[in-house]
Amino acid sequence: MHKSQHSAKQAFRSAMDIAPIQPAMTDCRRVLAAYSGGADSAALLTLLVPYCAERKLSLVAVHVHHGIRGEEADRDAQFCADFCAARGIDFRLEKVDAPAYSEAHSVGLEEAARTLRYEVLYRIADEMEGTRIATAHSADDNLETVLFRLARGTALDGLCGIPPVRGCIVRPLLGCTAEAIREYCRQEEIPYVTDSTNEDTLYTRNFIRKEIVPLMRQIAPEPALSVARTCDSLRADTEYMHDMAKAALGHLANETFVSLDHLQPQPDALLSRSIILLYENAAGGRRDLTAQHIHDVMRAVRMGGFSRVSLPGDITAVVAGRLLTMEQGRAEIPEPDPDFEVPLMLGDNLFPHYGFGVRMERAWKEEMPEKEEDCQNIYKLSIRTAIPFDTIKGTVLVRFRRGGDSIRIGGMTRVVKKMLNEAKIPPADRARLPVVCDDGGVLWIPGLPYRDGKITSRSQEGYVCFTYFLL
């Protein structure tokens, strides 16, 4: 073994120094070890036995049978059961159908197996309180991941590779090469099985391992460790930028919405991370968000207006008026009814069929903010304006835009269609915007200024506040 390679024991001890599994520090009482029967997982399980015994932690080995490889998979499952029985390790065998999942969700077999494997581990962890999950990812796995993401296109977060710790998951062998792990298995006489599909270069990761990594070794003898050091450095940078984004979002860091006025001044490095934070809040995790997804949302934010970007996990990024919102499972909005016309009452006026509401409130001068721009407050899923009493004439109602609509703003009569076009609002979204009217015509449209009105002594007395919000 090359002198610069870490032994499995050294890598394991170093990892546990960084992410210890100790009851006093993590309230952990049990460790689930993902155990495939291969060299990496066999080494990890063997190392966890004394570690957990010393700390009085329960250890459970979990083997997931993916429903592929036929008799060979059955052989591996039996090998794992026998291995654990001989060493007094609690063992659980879980069976899933990766081929069926692959077909149903239109994903590759590798991705289907990975998704189902983690679903099993998380489910068992949820059943057993105080549990952490240990997986046997090595430095070579990390190298393959980085190369795969680089080939597909990724941002800085993707180049950070596999994280040593994420939530309840810890990866103690991430700093150890596959060669060092196999050397450890030989020295300790640890038996393991070999997956025959690891030789099939039709699988992307196998192709990277068999064809690309050997070429890299002509440049650097230990590319896995070189890339691991780079990932450590990039991870420190991205964690700092992540913290900066949280600070920039302030009290909205845990929300799924934010004002474009808050986002647009941000440099791209912060804006991308702000978008990731909002998405994670909505989706419950990063999932399969790609650099292209982030770029598309950034472009929508920079342009303003109205747009929608479909994201993984049934999330839609919606730029509406001056607000970015991450929406979960939002249904299709029906086409606007040209005859839709409803008088507005004080309080919330809800139109769930079209996915929006309009709140109408009275406010007296002393209740209004000192600065006019504060009246244009944008908060959760809404846009708000405050119009002086004298500007409003007769009955107030809401309808959709009609041909020939105009509004007088800044002393000029403006065509509404042209104003919405100048605001870069797509035609489909223009048609769905509510139009607030009174006896004098168009009074206000969310995202545009309200109609001119005479300033009188009564104008100073109070306002009518309108709030447009999505349901």
The answer to the question of residue 246 being in a domain is no
What are the C-alpha distances in Å from 27 to residues 44, 132, 168, 314? 22, 10, 11, 33
Q: Give how many domains the chain has, as a whole number.
A: 3
Instruction: Tell me: do 23 and 104 sit in the same domain.
Output: yes
pLDDT at 134: 94
Question: Residue 351's domain spans which residues?
Answer: 341-470
Q: Are 134 and 172 in contact (CB under 8 A)?
A: yes
Q: Which of 59-98 are b and which e, b meaning 16 or more Cβ less than 10 Å from the residue's Cβ?
A: bbbbbbbbbbeeeebeebbebbbebbeeeebebbebebeb
Instruction: Tell me: do 36 and 126 sit in the same domain.
Output: yes
The answer to the question of residue 3 being in a domain is no
Measured CA to CA, the distance from residue 4 to residue 225 in angstroms comes to 9
The DSSP H or E segment spanning 328 is strand 323-328
The answer to the question of residue 249 being in a domain is no
Instruction: Tell me: do 348 and 425 sit in the same domain.
Output: yes
Instruction: Tell me: do 217 and 259 sit in the same domain.
Output: no
Instruction: Tell me: do 285 and 353 sit in the same domain.
Output: no
The answer to the question of residue 235 being in a domain is no
Instruction: Tell me: do 287 and 386 sit in the same domain.
Output: no
Q: Are 36 and 63 in contact (CB under 8 A)?
A: yes
The answer to the question of residue 406 being in a domain is yes
Measured CA to CA, the distance from residue 304 to residue 323 in angstroms comes to 9
Strand partners, 93: 63
Structure tokens at 96: 């899933």
Contacts of residue 250, Cβ cutoff 8 Å, sequence gap at least 6: none
Contacts of residue 218, Cβ cutoff 8 Å, sequence gap at least 6: none
- At which of 306, 328, 350 does a domain end? 328
Structure tokens at 200: 């099939």
Instruction: Tell me: do 215 and 308 sit in the same domain.
Output: no
381 phi-psi bin (left φ>0, alpha ψ -120 to 50, beta other): left
Nearest to 226, CA basis, from 147, 165, 169? 147
pLDDT at 336: 81
The answer to the question of residue 336 being in a domain is no
* Domain at 443, CATH number: 3.50.40.10
Instruction: Tell me: do 318 and 352 sit in the same domain.
Output: no
Instruction: Tell me: do 292 and 421 sit in the same domain.
Output: no
Measured CA to CA, the distance from residue 163 to residue 179 in angstroms comes to 21
- Look-up: residue for tokens 């546990």? 16
- At which of 295, 328, 361 does a domain end? 328
Instruction: Tell me: do 313 and 374 sit in the same domain.
Output: no
At how many degrees (to 10) do helices 39-54 and 70-87 cross? 20
The answer to the question of residue 237 being in a domain is no
Instruction: Tell me: do 357 and 297 sit in the same domain.
Output: no
Q: Are 408 and 450 in contact (CB under 8 A)?
A: no
* Domain at 320, CATH number: 3.30.465.60
- At which of 223, 243, 276 does a domain end? 223
Measured CA to CA, the distance from residue 389 to residue 259 in angstroms comes to 27
* Domain at 87, CATH number: 3.40.50.620
Instruction: Tell me: do 68 and 203 sit in the same domain.
Output: yes
Mean pLDDT by 10 residues, the chain (471 residues): 52 64 64 94 94 91 92 94 96 94 85 91 88 93 92 82 89 90 92 83 83 92 92 92 89 85 90 91 76 87 78 83 77 74 90 79 65 38 78 92 90 90 74 90 90 65 83 59
Q: Are 51 and 152 in contact (CB under 8 A)?
A: no
Structure tokens at 211: 């064809």
Q: What is the dihedral of CA 143, 148, 149, 150, to 10 degrees?
A: 80
pTM value surpassing 0.85: no
The answer to the question of residue 80 being in a domain is yes
